[in-house]
Amino acid sequence: MSVPELKAWRAARPHVERFARAVRPWLVRALETVRPWLVRAVEAVRRSLVQALGAVRPWFARLTTVQFTAGAALLGLALAATVVTAAGPWDSSGQRTAERDFAASREVAGGADHGTGSGPGSGTAPKAPRPAPSAPSVLAGLGGTTGSVSAPAEKALGDVLGPLLDDSSLGSERTAAVVDVATGKQLYGRAADEALTPASTTKIATAVAALSAAGADHRIATRTALEPGTKELVLVGGGDPTLTAREEANGNASLRTLADKTADALKARKLDAVTLSYDTTLYDGPALHPIGPDNANLAPVTALMTDEGRLDDSSSGPADRSRDPAADAARQFAALLNDRGIKTKSPGPSKATGRAETLAKVESPPLSALVERMLTNSDNDIAEALARQTALASGEQASFEGASAAIRTQLKKLELPLEGVKFADGSGLDRADRLTANLLTALLAKAAAPDHPELRPALTGLPVAGFTGTLRNRYTDQPGTGVVRAKTGTLTGVHALAGTVVDSEGRLLAFAFLTSSDHPTDPATTQKALDGAASALANCGCGA
């Protein structure tokens, strides 16, 4: 028997499917967040039901099929409501209403959920400016819906951007490019093939290369191995800078979990004392970046570290760093083993042999998540780790030099414009890096291409103007708020901004602005000028 599709459902179906696609990524993250709580809650409910089953068994047996189905449906709805409540309210486009209202209020404390505020239900402050619920959703057009929307006219776009990029606050050199993501056509160019120091916009190239080489699902393992016929236990680094020794792992690989598994494996072998060594030989070349020692922006680049070598409780931004993250991680692991009844001698460097038996391992979040975290927070430690993962996947040495060569190789395979381009590191901290506006916009367009879904985290990780990461405190009172997604780049005398924007007619554009000056400009003024140019794209009704 076939049931005809109702007319009302046929009309509503495209909207429901569009909504489902929009909210799915957020629901997945929400489920991951509430999963431990749900497991505990379900277990508690299960125990209660078992205890109560004896009392309700006679009544339960008399339930009809309809009654049983209705009860199950109500339980399912209650569970779904719990998950949605934990994740936060959504509007019809799949955007969290808390995020939309935050863009308007600007007075709410931030965080992963952008604050809850004091307004009735939405978090909007009483005196906040009006929100912009009609603003196009970020990344609109990736589903191929822009066919009926005209691309901006090149002359009209030039008339808008030209005066803004002539602003003297941008310094002595500036290059720019704007590309229609749907077609790949360049709509605006200003010395777009001239290579300048890109600062942290280099991370876009690192992201695309790493995703292309290793894959979005790749995870970085940290393991312990026991040398045969000995009591030598080796802690083997795999290059995961997010490995954490903290009590709350927050989704990262946990050194404590590795200690639990290793202690259990040792006790199963009747061992309660070992000689602990640590292996960092996966990486080659110098560990110290050319920016030098004691730099708060980057720890020594090593295959073994915990919490990015940070000496405080921070998880992003500048912080004092360990001078020897690998040795510190080994000492932390020794202490954790001791707490679990395994005695160790003071750890020293070594190399696990091919005969060593792996006892336990923990794995990082998938590469897609690391890419997003790197881009959102402009995380230099993750950037350099991803550059080395690119080298390993490409058959190059895992060093600054090998990683730079691997990034270039991967981008060449993707047929991206590399003339005049130079990679010196993965983070953009090295002033020897050179990128063009053409390459940056091509990277963004490639990441949006339907035939390269594995590259999509290079877009979804970009900070959202006014909401997340390095753009959270920018775009005050500018129309790009909530609509621009972009990677920032800042060094002394260097300012860059590259990302995507949905214009007022619903077209998704990729843009890149690079500036440089021998006489450093005022950072706040220069950044505001770049933000203004991106906002002009968001506000541009420049269709042909």
pLDDT digit string (tens) for 333-392? 999 999 999 999 989 999 999 999 999 999 999 999 999 999 999 999 999 999 999 999
Task: Tell me the pLDDT band of 475, cut-offs 50, 70 and 90.
Answer: confident
- With a cut of 80, say whether residue 168 has pLDDT above it: yes
The pLDDT of residue 521: 83
- Of 83-92, 211-220, 423-432, 454-463, the poorest mean pLDDT is in 83-92
| Cβ-contact 303, 376 below 8 angstroms | no
Sheet holding 494-502, edge to edge: 186-190, 173-180, 508-516, 494-502, 484-491
* 430-439 confidence digits (pLDDT tens): 999 999 999 9
Please state the three-class secondary structure of 279-324 as a single string: ECCCCCCCCCCCCCCCCCCCCCCCCCCCHHHECCCCCCCCCCECCC
- With a cut of 50, say whether residue 104 has pLDDT above it: no
- Residue 459 CB burial class (10 angstroms; 0-12, 13-18, ≥19): buried
* Active-site annotation, residues: 200, 203, 378
Distances (CA, A) of 43 to 37, 38, 342: 10, 8, 33
Structure tokens at 129: 């400016």
What dihedral do alpha carbons 17, 22, 24, 26 form, nearest 10°? -160
Q: What is the pTM of this model?
A: 0.75
Please state the three-class secondary structure of 399-447 as a single string: CHHHHHHHHHHHHHHCCCCCCCCECCCCCCCCCCCEECHHHHHHHHHHH
What average pLDDT does range 208-232 have in this prediction? 97
Checking phi first, is residue 144 left (phi over 0); if not, alpha (psi -120 to 50) or beta? left
- With a cut of 50, say whether residue 106 has pLDDT above it: no
State the Cα–Cα distance between residues 79 and 86, nearest whole angstrom.
Answer: 11
The pLDDT of residue 43: 52
Q: Which long-range contacts (CB under 8 A, 24 or more apart) does 475-482 make?
A: 475/531, 475/535, 476/106, 477/129, 478/531, 478/532, 478/535, 479/535, 479/538, 479/539, 480/531, 480/534, 480/535, 480/537, 480/538, 480/539, 481/103, 481/132, 482/99, 482/100, 482/103, 482/132, 482/135, 482/138
The pLDDT of residue 294: 83
The pLDDT of residue 81: 39
Task: Tell me the pLDDT band of 108, cut-offs 50, 70 and 90.
Answer: very low
- With a cut of 90, say whether residue 320 has pLDDT above it: yes
Task: Tell me the pLDDT band of 292, cut-offs 50, 70 and 90.
Answer: confident
Per cent of the chain over pLDDT 90 is 65
The segment with the largest mean pLDDT, out of 56-60, 120-124, 137-141, 442-446, is: 442-446
- With a cut of 70, say whether residue 325 has pLDDT above it: yes
- Residue 461 CB burial class (10 angstroms; 0-12, 13-18, ≥19): buried
What average pLDDT does range 280-302 have in this prediction? 94
| Cβ-contact 333, 259 below 8 angstroms | yes
Average pLDDT, the chain: 80
* 193-219 confidence digits (pLDDT tens): 999 999 999 999 999 999 999 999 999
Where would I find the H helices in 130-180?
154-165
The pLDDT of residue 37: 53
The pLDDT of residue 220: 98
* 506-532 confidence digits (pLDDT tens): 899 999 999 999 887 899 999 999 999
* 438-458 confidence digits (pLDDT tens): 999 999 999 999 999 999 999
- Of 54-58, 208-212, 221-225, 325-329, the poorest mean pLDDT is in 54-58
For 477-536, the DSSP string reads T-TTTTTEEEEEEEETTEEEEEEEEE-TTS-EEEEEEEEE-SSPPPHHHHHHHHHHHHHH
* 140-152 confidence digits (pLDDT tens): 445 444 445 677 8
| Cβ-contact 483, 475 below 8 angstroms | no
State the Cα–Cα distance between residues 206 and 410, nearest whole angstrom.
Answer: 10
**Sign of the four-CA dihedral 474, 476, 479, 482:** positive
